[in-house]
Amino acid sequence: MAKYVYFFGAGKAEGKREMKELLGGKGANLAEMANLGLPVPPGFTATTEVCRKYYELGEEKLFKLVEPEIKKNLARLEKLTGKTFGRGPKPLLVSVRSGAAVSMPGMMDTVLNLGITSETIDALIELAGNERFVWDAYRRFMQMFGDVVMRVPREEFEHALDGVKKKYNRQLDTQLTTDELKKVVESYRRIYRKHTGEEFPDDAMAQLRRSMGAVFGSWNNPRAVTYRQLHDIRGLLGTAVNVQTMVFGNMGEKCGTGVAFTRDPSTGQNKYFYGEYLMNAQGEDVVAGIRTPQQISRQGSREWARNNGISEKERRANYPSLEELMPKCFKELDRIRARLEKHYREMQDVEFTIEDGKLHMLQTRAGKRTAAAAVKIASDMVKEKLISTEDAVARVEPGTLDQLLHPVFEPKAEAAAKQLARGLPASPGAATGQVVFSAEEAERWAEMGRTVILVRIETSPEDIGGMAVAKGILTARGGMTSHAAVVARGMGTCCVAGAGDVVIDYKSKTMHVNGVHVKEGDWISLNGSTGVLYEGKIDTIEPRLTGAFATIMQWADKYRRLGVRANADTPHDAATAVRFGAEGIGLCRTEHMFFEGDRIISFRRLILVADTVKRLRLDLAQADGEEKKKIEKQLAAPLKQYNRALRELLPLQRKDFIGIFKALKGRPCTIRLLDPPLHEFLPHDEAGQRGMAKTMGLDAKRVKELVESLHEFNPMLGHRGCRLGITYPEVSAMQVRAIVEAALKVKGSKPEIMIPLAGHVKELALQKQVALDTIEAVKKEQKLKKLPFPVCIGTMIEVPRAAITADEIAEEADFFSFGTNDLTQMGCGFSRDDAGKFLGDYVREGIYDYDPFQVLDRGGVGKLMEMACRLGRSTSPKLKLGICGEHGGEPKSVEFCHQVGLDYVSCSPYRVPIARLAAAHAVLAEKRSKRKKSK
């Protein structure tokens, strides 16, 4: 027969720590502590399987099934404590608490002091020797039971309590007398009756049954469901329910309650015992924030007093540590701390209660910690020989490293700041600055030494200069792979994208956010890690990448198989990437180079005549005689301009690549030929078009016509990527020449030429030929027999057709790099820039588990990748495989890349450490699953 309930107490337990899935974290660890002989109030745990049955059978049928076991365990509890439940001279009171396999603090329900009835109350008063305490416990129980079990509005109870306090002129709950508390109980009864149509239950077993049902029910309350979604908690049966003998921290001056950590959860320090407690209080009082909790250790208490400007005299008088106030209890707790850490080999977060000078342990679990604390604790524990380097690497969550790589807000200042809106956490970090609404203003203000936040409806490549100088970027539209998001991540600039509540008016240089009016020059703050926009300035803290962080990264590198490269397009970004441990560049986007300084003029000059040159050349090829001469004449001027632009661009590009090769110091560099549609290089507003016309000595109408002629209804599927190179091979040739000439100038360079957006092998073959011809020409000019580096030409896999025909494509390619931004766009059919509007709904509805632009869609896009890897390697076994879409820095996607056998991932420089650690985790997870299988 299935076992639904597990007992713990008196130095032993039926459960143990390994049974988390079944007993929940709290239940499994209470059992473990009992087995260790620690002072745990006895009790029992109804399993998560019971929770599953609760949803399958409903409350009534469930209790028919499990009540015999509950009663049997209650009887054991009665025997062990010498108390009786719901009757007798020594009534037993219990707590009913939730506890899933993964901790979900505060999300589910709890009922305390259960078992007080009209039959037990007198005996309890006799037993406690304190009438007031028992009536206070009763009113707390009624309030919790009413709220949690029967959904009686909490405010009603609070109003009633306030009413009695007011009537008797009491400021604090603790000042209420016994008679006044009895009055509170009376009004609680009335409220309960009014809302439920029945009397408050006076039978302890009925109280227990309903409370347990309510706690099981709280597994699916909206709070808990949202929490699981936010923290990606999946695949659990439900919550277990722990029924435990009550111990009271609020029964007098020799009582107290607190929470403690075996090491400091914010820094990882292990200098003294970290934790807080309150005398004469119940757990809820510690969290309620009405009284100031005191520190557990003397040293901690002194530090706390110093930080809060409290004198030693005042501290000792009003806020003494537990160490000073109850040295015996402190010593015992300190011994338990050491014992638990050694036993669990992990930092623990414990809850305890002291009743009448006796210590009771109510909970232990792996403590939540900041990323800084996680790396310090993991590396310290290796030094202390508590864990292996493998454990240490596995214990640091890759995603949390973000906290260490960017400036963050000072936590207290952030908590106090006013939130204006929420967008997507597009690029992590924290930024505070003055609002500007255009890239030009951003550059101008930055030159004057101001710190700016660039606010745009959305950004485009022409904003690059402003984006580069901005401390932070905020957009009202766009998703996680929108231009703003991708570029900001690449630069390591904090960005909140797609904040739909932000209404921007460029004309008046203002924005409205949920009733708040913000104008140019006003201060705002962005948290790019959470997506929150704040009003005003918030202080920030800079990151440090040495010490424990560096140690963990070195260990991670020992385990990983995947290479890690970076997406970087400037020498500065390349150097940052190398500093973060990148082994090369996996994607150098060349388009941004066309915007800098005067080169945009040259490129615009080329765009202006490109179409005419192309058309006339085609006509010329078909013409002869007079017609031919006429066309040649027509072609002469535009062609001159076209070639001049290319000549001007060549040395500039070459210089860019020289800088990047130098920064890479011999590491490989994949350089992608021009990708965006040409219209992105032209100004779209009237002022910009007038400016361009003036610079080029043209009529503004001509510029407007040009912009209109390049307009595309669906530019992402339009004339971009290698399609540009097919139409204008001279542009590809110029870029290849610049790459090769630069590589020849910097010893040790390893250039890799990447053709974007190919969907058909012939596109690649044509572009490859252009590259090979150019290389031959350079060799000839420089009288070289051979280049000092291998000529590596590959392609991006971004179009589903490319993945499907990867066997053919591989015959022309030395490498594939999965451009999963576009592959997701075209594979799922979601516009990268617009899908943000509805993808939230898709995730909420569970259609996709995650936004597929953030976490690789294994079931769809992943299958395309698997197919492309398999097909590609079938015709070209040595084909090198990588990824350079944004997924290359996302831990779950990195794991998938490891599983499908890619050679490397490439991501923005600031995500390189995350990818390194995630790649190590992928190996460790594989090892674990192999070990499991072999067992």
Residues forming the site for ligand PEP (CB under 6 A): 486, 587, 589, 675, 798, 819-822, 884-885
d(CA 541, CA 411) in angstroms, rounded, equals 9
d(CA 661, CA 656) in angstroms, rounded, equals 9
Interior CA angle at 892 toward 891 and 895, to 5°? 90
Residue 242 touches which of Mg ion, ligand PEP, none (Cβ within 5-8 Å per kind): none
d(CA 507, CA 512) in angstroms, rounded, equals 13
Nearer to ligand PEP, 802 or 884 (CB): 884
Nearer to ligand PEP, 188 or 896 (CB): 896
Among the listed residues 255, 329, 360, 483, the single catalytic one is 483
Residue 820 touches which of Mg ion, ligand PEP, none (Cβ within 5-8 Å per kind): ligand PEP
Nearer to ligand PEP, 363 or 824 (CB): 824
Q: Report, in Å, the least distance between residue 820 CB and ligand PEP.
A: 5
Q: Which two tokens stand for residue 311?
A: 């004198």
d(CA 302, CA 298) in angstroms, rounded, equals 6
The amino acid occupying position 48 is T
- Only one of the segments 67-75, 346-354, 797-805, 899-907 lies at the binding site for Mg ion (rule: CB under 5 A); that segment is 797-805
Q: Report, in Å, the least distance between residue 833 CB and Mg ion.
A: 13
Cα distances (angstroms) measured from residue 202 to each of 189, 346, 520, 611 = 11, 44, 64, 88
Among the listed residues 884, 897, 898, 921, the single catalytic one is 884
Instruction: Give me the helices (H) in 623-721, please.
Output: 625-664, 686-696, 700-709
Q: Report, in Å, the least distance between residue 883 CB and ligand PEP.
A: 8
* Contact between residue 857 and residue 481 where contact means Cβ atoms under 8 Å apart: no
d(CA 238, CA 251) in angstroms, rounded, equals 34
Hey, which residues between 344 and 373 contact Mg ion (CB under 5 A)? none
Q: Report, in Å, the least distance between residue 905 CB and Mg ion.
A: 16
Nearer to ligand PEP, 101 or 797 (CB): 797
Q: Which two tokens stand for residue 863?
A: 């299958």
Q: Report, in Å, the least distance between residue 586 CB and ligand PEP.
A: 9
Residue 670 touches which of Mg ion, ligand PEP, none (Cβ within 5-8 Å per kind): none
Q: Which two tokens stand for residue 583?
A: 């082994």
Residue 41 touches which of Mg ion, ligand PEP, none (Cβ within 5-8 Å per kind): none
d(CA 656, CA 586) in angstroms, rounded, equals 16
Q: What is the largest CA-CA distance in the chain?
A: 120
Residue 91 touches which of ligand PEP, Mg ion, none (Cβ within 5-8 Å per kind): none
Q: Which two tokens stand for residue 512?
A: 């409205």
Q: Report, in Å, the least distance between residue 668 CB and ligand PEP.
A: 17
Q: Which two tokens stand for residue 516?
A: 């708040």
DSSP states of 158-222 as a string? Answer: HHHHHHHHHHTT-SSGGG--HHHHHHHHHHHHHHHHHHHSSPPP--HHHHHHHHHHHHHHGGGSH
Residue 885 touches which of Mg ion, ligand PEP, none (Cβ within 5-8 Å per kind): ligand PEP
Nearer to ligand PEP, 821 or 854 (CB): 821
The beta-strand segments (E) located in 380-418 are 408-409
* Contact between residue 822 and residue 722 where contact means Cβ atoms under 8 Å apart: no
Q: Report, in Å, the least distance between residue 706 CB and ligand PEP.
A: 24
**C-beta nearest to Mg ion: residue:** 822
Strand partners, 525: 432, 534
Nearer to Mg ion, 346 or 822 (CB): 822
Cα distances (angstroms) measured from residue 612 to each of 475, 549, 641, 659 = 37, 57, 11, 34
Hey, which residues between 799 and 838 contact Mg ion (CB under 5 A)? 819, 822
Q: Report, in Å, the least distance between residue 697 CB and ligand PEP.
A: 33
Q: Report, in Å, the least distance between residue 820 CB and Mg ion.
A: 9
3-state DSSP assignment of residue 368: coil
Residue 131 touches which of Mg ion, ligand PEP, none (Cβ within 5-8 Å per kind): none
Nearer to Mg ion, 559 or 818 (CB): 818
Residue 570 touches which of Mg ion, ligand PEP, none (Cβ within 5-8 Å per kind): none
Residue 486 touches which of Mg ion, ligand PEP, none (Cβ within 5-8 Å per kind): ligand PEP
Rounded to 5 degrees, φ, ψ at 435 are: -75, 130
* Contact between residue 40 and residue 8 where contact means Cβ atoms under 8 Å apart: yes
Nearer to Mg ion, 295 or 821 (CB): 821
Residue 753 touches which of ligand PEP, Mg ion, none (Cβ within 5-8 Å per kind): none
d(CA 599, CA 611) in angstroms, rounded, equals 20
Beginning with the edge strand found earlier in the chain, give each strand of the sheet holding 43-46 in spatial order.
12-13, 5-9, 43-46, 240-245, 94-99, 110-114
Hunting for tokens 């997507």 — which residue is that? 424
Nearer to ligand PEP, 233 or 716 (CB): 716
Q: Report, in Å, the least distance between residue 884 CB and Mg ion.
A: 8
Q: Which of 318, 321, 322 is nearest to 333 (CA)?
A: 322
Nearer to ligand PEP, 380 or 822 (CB): 822
Residue 735 touches which of ligand PEP, Mg ion, none (Cβ within 5-8 Å per kind): none
Cα distances (angstroms) measured from residue 209 to each of 52, 116, 333, 508 = 16, 14, 34, 63
* Contact between residue 528 and residue 428 where contact means Cβ atoms under 8 Å apart: yes
d(CA 38, CA 359) in angstroms, rounded, equals 10
d(CA 872, CA 810) in angstroms, rounded, equals 5
Nearer to ligand PEP, 278 or 486 (CB): 486
3-state DSSP assignment of residue 500: coil
Q: Report, in Å, the least distance between residue 819 CB and Mg ion.
A: 4
The answer to whether residue 884 is catalytic is yes
Nearer to ligand PEP, 511 or 587 (CB): 587
Q: Report, in Å, the least distance between residue 752 CB and Mg ion.
A: 16
Instruction: Report the first-to-last Cα separation within the chain, whole angstroms.
Output: 26
d(CA 898, CA 877) in angstroms, rounded, equals 18
Hunting for tokens 């028992």 — which residue is that? 134
d(CA 366, CA 375) in angstroms, rounded, equals 15
Q: Which residues bind Mg ion (CB under 5 A)?
A: 798, 819, 822
Report, as residue numbers or ranges, the catalytic residues.
483, 884
